[in-house]
Amino acid sequence: MIALSVLLAPQLSAFHLVGGTTAMRLGNLAGPLVAAVTVLGVGLPTLPAAADATTLYVNDDSRLCSTSGPTAGTQADPYCTIQQAADVAQPGQTVLISPGSYEENVQVTHSGSPGQPIVFTAAPGTSANGVSGVVITDDGSAHDEAQNAGFFLTGVHDVSITGLTFHDLLASAVTISTSTRVSIDQNHLDHTGTFDVGWPGVYVNGGNSAVTVSRNWFNGVGHSGIVVSPGDQGTDITENEMFQTGGPGVYVASTQGTLITNNTIGYSSGESIAVAGASTGTVIENNVTYGVAQGGDEIQLAALSAPTTTYDYNLVDASAGATAYKWGKTAYATAADLHGATGAAAHDLNTDPKLSGPDGTGAPGPGSPVIDSADANAPGLLATDILGRKPVDDPNVPNTGTGDGTRDRGAFDLQSFYPKTLALSTAQGSAPLTVTETVGLWTMWPEPLTYTVDFHDGSAPVSSSTPTIQHVYTDAGYYTPTVTVSDPSGYTRVLPAGPAGNEVHVQYGLAGFTQLAPTRVLDTRDSATGRSWNFGSHFAGYGEKVLKLGGAGAAIPRGTTAVVLNLTVVNPATEGYLAAKPDDLLPPTSSNLNFTAGQTVPNLVTAPVDQDGSVYLWTNTDNFDVVADLFGYYSPQSTGRFTAQTPVRLLDTRSDAGGLPIGPDSTVSVQVAGQHGVPTDATAAVLNLTATAPSTGGFLTAFPSGSAKPTTSNLNFLAGTTIANQVIVPIGPDGKVTIYNHTGDTHAVLDLFGYYAPDGADLYHPLDPTRLLDTRGGPGIAAGQSVSVGVSGYGGAPADAAVLNVTTTESDTPGYFTLYPHGIAVPGTSNLNFTAGETIPNQVTVPVGQNSEVDLYSFAGHSQAVVDLYGYFAKS
């Protein structure tokens, strides 16, 4: 069976039984090539060679990555594992990791150099709500810290690990041994170190110097958040948040010059901060600790460590039952007691820190005593807090800290405002769509704010002093507006439109039709791109080409919503399908044209376009040619309105005019206007053209009577076949259309389905393709039976006529399908002819009948049918 796209989409609609036989010109393929054809490259822009020299790329998607080869590790050919990049990384290089779950225990043995570290980090844009989409997890291969740490660094220097998530690791997220100038910054550690008695989240495991552990989130770590081992020198532990660690939040033993500043540590087991052994030169300042249970200590300092420890400006809340301070073997309940006995903790606070502010559980809220009360001169502090924000002054709170008095204790610094939501007055509708965007904020104190909105539709961003901004989206598409809010200090936050995926969906508006003289816009046999579809370069498993039909000097104007193309696949090397979409964001879920190896098959396609007037052609195979002819377009400015007709046969050469076929290089003209309800001022007709019993391969071309024959084709066929294709043909001055046969003899059948006229009934509304029927998986449609398919317009609006792509497959005998409005008898027309086992599509424009349904009738045998809705006609 030939694939009908990712085409094995869910069967979306049920159907019920309601119970004429009839059976392009590629020609010389001349004709102007007015559309530029671009083969899409890789999914990300190519970086200059200098940038590639400093960046190694990693992506765990096996369809996109490589394990070896001269281009492995480049943006176009990323490594599959972080370990591969670690094994080759050089000073100054960044290992850029794409989102994914990496079951690895990375051994880092290469070093950077001073000022040129090796950096392991997530690719830009891979975080959501501050949590990295690059997840390092356990491969379960061993049960010791050396092998099961997320990263294990030994004997290295100048290495940075930043912006990653470590989740469900048996051992530590990062273990560091005999290394120097190592930075672990802005990572999330979630349920790490869970094996046996537990491992610390970050294990600074002896022989290290100048290790910085900063701005990380620790949650549910099996043992301590951070452990610093004997002999380690100059470890800087700053601005981390730790919550519910299985051991002390920070534990250091017999170290030199350890700095523990501005951390927020809650609900640790045993102690929040513990300094053991004979540690020297330790600094403990500006920390916020709380939640240790009875029997534990919030702060514990060994007797041998106390004399050289600097301790002050912490907030210690022992209200959960713990001892506030343990100096040697002496317990102190308050900072005043400790200060009176030792001289330490002169500025410590013992009170409720009033956390759970807008930034989360460990962040201060309004009125918190941590605000503007820290020692700004504490060693080891960074310029920004855990979220990368500079300290700001809260005018509602006295400045009791050192320096300018604006530094807050703990990992978070309270800001003037916090974004809540970007609310949209409407999330979807037809173009032009007016959307009011309202920014919701928590404001901590009154301050003038600036709101700058990027509507992401190509228009210039708009700035406002008010949180409500209105915008009109003129082009169909999906848009995710963002608002940047800034205060006078330069602090900014960016808000997306609500939760992930909640974008503005602008539907195509109703449009009239403009008929064009048939124009060839693509012939891959004559183009530089040829038969290659650059398969797999943009999306694994897909090839693409883009038809640029809009722009300066193009055939279609700005504002065009859809184009009418005749697509013909020529001599494919393998079976496959072709789908036309208005974007290249995601692969198609339906197809317009299915083909087998060696087959030449056409199909009329009414394809939506993007705001630049482009159509993206997708395929699941490679090595075939395609010819595209443009026949018209829909736009709000076009005046042609469509009136659907109950299908009626206009021509059948097998029974008309003595039953003679159309000879080679011959024509036959058919009266359309002035009969069957078609008015004399009709400008074009929607017809189904069928060739049957041709004596040789050839093509038919339909064109207005009295005009020159175009150099394009509508229907290509092989000898002895029966094949149909929908055509939209201008009507000549005498009310007729003419059918031209290029070579050999062939019979032709012509059925009328509607017409365009200035005072016609309906305008066209393109839709994202929607599957209405897929009978595969069942017995199919039996001979003489009909199935009914419900059709409705956008938002459930009534539709007068539907534009469908109908595909047959797995038929056990030759036959045909007829589509017609529900509620009438089966007409003596046909839309889709096929042979046994053939998979073939045809576009069908059909009136919608009673109960908003269209019926599909099968003439013979058992056949499977797939019906996709591409648009509809309605009065408004």
Q: Which helix (H) or strand (E) holds 50?
A: helix 49-53
Q: What is the pLDDT of residue 9?
A: 31
Q: How many Cβ atoms sit within 10 Å of the Cβ of residue 388?
A: 11
Question: Is 53:116 a contact under the CB 8 Å cutoff?
Answer: no
Residue 791, CA distances (Å) to 169, 331, 511, 824, 870 in order: 52, 78, 19, 16, 11
For residue 873, which of 822, 799, 816 has the smallest C-alpha distance? 799
Q: In the predicted model, is pLDDT for residue 80 greater than 70?
A: yes
Q: What is the pLDDT of residue 21?
A: 31
Percent of the chain with pLDDT over 70: 90
Alpha carbon distance 816, 814 (integer Å): 7
Q: What is the pLDDT of residue 17?
A: 32
For residue 678, which of 736, 764, 739 has the smallest C-alpha distance? 736
For residue 753, which of 699, 676, 841 has the smallest C-alpha distance? 676
Question: Is 362:317 a contact under the CB 8 Å cutoff?
Answer: no
> Model confidence over 370-402: pLDDT tens digits?
999 999 999 999 999 999 999 999 999 999 999
Q: Which of 37-41, 49-53, 576-580, 799-803 has the lowest mean pLDDT?
A: 37-41
Q: How many Cβ atoms sit within 10 Å of the Cβ of residue 657?
A: 12
Alpha carbon distance 798, 232 (integer Å): 75
Structure tokens at 574: 């393998």
Alpha carbon distance 256, 236 (integer Å): 11
Predicted TM-score (pTM) of the model is 0.68
Question: Is 548:36 a contact under the CB 8 Å cutoff?
Answer: yes
The sign one gets for the Cα dihedral 834, 835, 837, 839 is negative
Q: In the predicted model, is pLDDT for residue 34 greater than 80?
A: no
Alpha carbon distance 852, 832 (integer Å): 22
Distance of CA 276 to the CA centre of its chain: 50
Mean pLDDT for the stretch of residues 360-364: 83
Strand 271-276 and strand 297-301: the pairing is: parallel
> Model confidence over 88-115: pLDDT tens digits?
999 999 999 999 999 999 999 999 999 9
Q: Which helix (H) or strand (E) holds 86?
A: helix 82-86
Q: What is the pLDDT of residue 265?
A: 97
Alpha carbon distance 96, 854 (integer Å): 53
Helices (H), 229-378: 335-342
Q: What is the pLDDT of residue 529?
A: 58
Q: In the predicted model, is pLDDT for residue 259 greater than 90?
A: yes
> Model confidence over 550-570: pLDDT tens digits?
876 677 888 899 999 999 998
Q: How many Cβ atoms sit within 10 Å of the Cβ of residue 17?
A: 10
Q: In the predicted model, is pLDDT for residue 139 greater than 60?
A: yes
Q: Which one of 68-77, 191-200, 548-557 scores highest in mean pLDDT?
A: 68-77
Rounded mean pLDDT of the chain? 87
Alpha carbon distance 462, 455 (integer Å): 9
Structure tokens at 709: 């024959």
For residue 829, which of 20, 66, 1 has the smallest C-alpha distance? 20
Structure tokens at 38: 């671009």
- Judged by DSSP in three states, 545 sits in strand
Q: What is the pLDDT of residue 497?
A: 56
What residues contact residue 14 under an 8 Å CB cut-off, 6+ apart? Answer: none
Provide the terminal-to-terminal Cα distance of the chain, rounded to the nearest Å.
40
Structure tokens at 424: 């949209």
The sign one gets for the Cα dihedral 25, 31, 34, 40 is positive
| pLDDT-based confidence at residue 126 (cuts at 50, 70, 90) | low
Question: Is 504:477 a contact under the CB 8 Å cutoff?
Answer: no
Q: What is the pLDDT of residue 503?
A: 80
Higher pLDDT, 529 or 349: 349
Helices (H), 392-484: none
Q: In the predicted model, is pLDDT for residue 16 greater than 90?
A: no
- Judged by DSSP in three states, 551 sits in coil
Alpha carbon distance 623, 606 (integer Å): 24
What residues contact residue 844 under an 8 Å CB cut-off, 6+ apart? Answer: 688, 726, 753, 803, 804, 805, 806, 819, 831, 832
Q: What is the pLDDT of residue 47?
A: 30
Question: What's phi and psi for 788, nearest 5 deg?
Answer: -105, 140
Q: How many Cβ atoms sit within 10 Å of the Cβ of residue 397?
A: 21
Question: Is 224:203 a contact under the CB 8 Å cutoff?
Answer: no
Q: What is the pLDDT of residue 571?
A: 86
Q: Which of 56-65, 122-131, 357-366, 490-499 has the lowest mean pLDDT?
A: 122-131
Q: In the predicted model, is pLDDT for residue 41 greater than 50?
A: no
Kindly compute the dihedral angle of the four CA atoms of residues 240, 241, 242, 244, in this order, to the nearest 10 degrees: 180
For residue 829, which of 843, 815, 818 has the smallest C-alpha distance? 818
Percent of the chain with pLDDT over 90: 60
Alpha carbon distance 707, 704 (integer Å): 6
- Judged by DSSP in three states, 146 sits in helix
Alpha carbon distance 692, 843 (integer Å): 18
Alpha carbon distance 557, 560 (integer Å): 6
Task: Give the DSSP letter of residue 64.
Answer: T
Mean pLDDT for the stretch of residues 343-358: 93
Task: Give the DSSP letter of residue 306.
Answer: G
Q: For the chain, what's the residue count?
A: 876
Q: Which of 16-20, 781-785, 847-851 has the lowest mean pLDDT?
A: 16-20
Task: Give the DSSP letter of residue 657.
Answer: G
> Model confidence over 644-690: pLDDT tens digits?
998 899 999 999 868 899 999 999 999 999 999 999 999 999 999 99
| pLDDT-based confidence at residue 141 (cuts at 50, 70, 90) | low
- Judged by DSSP in three states, 234 sits in coil
Residue 327, CA distances (Å) to 301, 315, 331, 574 in order: 5, 17, 6, 79
Q: How many Cβ atoms sit within 10 Å of the Cβ of residue 486?
A: 17
